Amino acid sequence: MARYDTPINASDASFERAVLQATRPAVVVFWSPRETSRDHLNTLLEKVAEQYASQVLVAKLEASDAPQTHAKYGLTALPEFLFFREGRLVARAKGMPSLQALHPWVEYLLERGPKPVTTKPRPQATQPADSGHPIQVSDADFDQVVLQASNPVLVDFWATWCGPCRSVAPIIEGLAGEFVGRALVAKLDVDANPVVAQRYGVRSIPTLIFFHNGREVERAVGAQPANVLRSKLNQLL
């Protein structure tokens, strides 16, 4: 019996044979490097394939390699996960889930659990610029919140496991209150939002990037004292 313990790459030419005619249920993700980090996606799929080896097939299709299949299933946003059982589509989930969030879908595919309830995400309440606290931004709303802001923006690229990020957090909080109404201070978790982090080449954290009129104008890497960040913001006002 074949072991499906690594993800496979499929295309329009191979989709029916590789996925619809597979002898195992299939987890299929349609993706594009413009919206999704390749490394992040590969890591997720490799873990799923390894955990469910011999139980499910894990496949990925880059949108440019599968335009006909993309159109056939009416995909409107990428990435999107489709779940097939005996050649039939039984479920679909939009977005880039965590490994933990993907597990219930695979269990449903294997008929070992209920179908996860999908709800439209509630629009995040956008904190006004005068809230006095840093705004949490994501891959989904970064362009709208940061690049379209009318005031200068300081974005703290951080992660929960990062010690220096924790040490600079009170400074970021203080600056948000200090520059209320004059500049926007935002935070982006690089683990949860790899696309924007990759777009701006963030390799070390914390990375603090200053934006003005939709463009990056300066950055600082590592924990910075308040007076340095304050000075840079003042120069943009």
Helix (H) or strand (E) holding 44: helix 38-51
On whether residue 117 sits in a domain, the answer given is no
| CATH number of the domain enclosing 53 | 3.40.30.10
Query: Is residue 164 included in any domain, yes or no?
Result: yes
Active site residue 52: no
pLDDT greater at residue 103 or residue 3: 103
Mean pLDDT of 138-153: 90
β strands within the chain, DSSP E: 8-9, 26-31, 57-62, 80-85, 88-94, 135-136, 153-158, 184-189, 207-212, 215-221
- Our answer to whether residue 232 is catalytic in this structure is no
The per-residue pLDDT for 129 is 45
The strands making up 207-212's β-sheet, listed across from edge to edge, are 135-136, 184-189, 153-158, 207-212, 215-221
Domain that holds residue 20: 8-109
Mean pLDDT in residue range 162-170? 94
Q: How confident is the model at residue 39 (pLDDT cuts 50, 70, 90)?
A: confident
Q: Which of 145, 165, 183, 186 is catalytic?
A: 165
165 domain-assigned = yes
Residues 91 and 145 in one domain: no
What's the sign of the alpha-carbon dihedral 224, 227, 229, 235?
A: negative
Tell me whether residue 168 is in a domain. yes
Is the entire prediction scored with pTM above 0.75? Answer: no
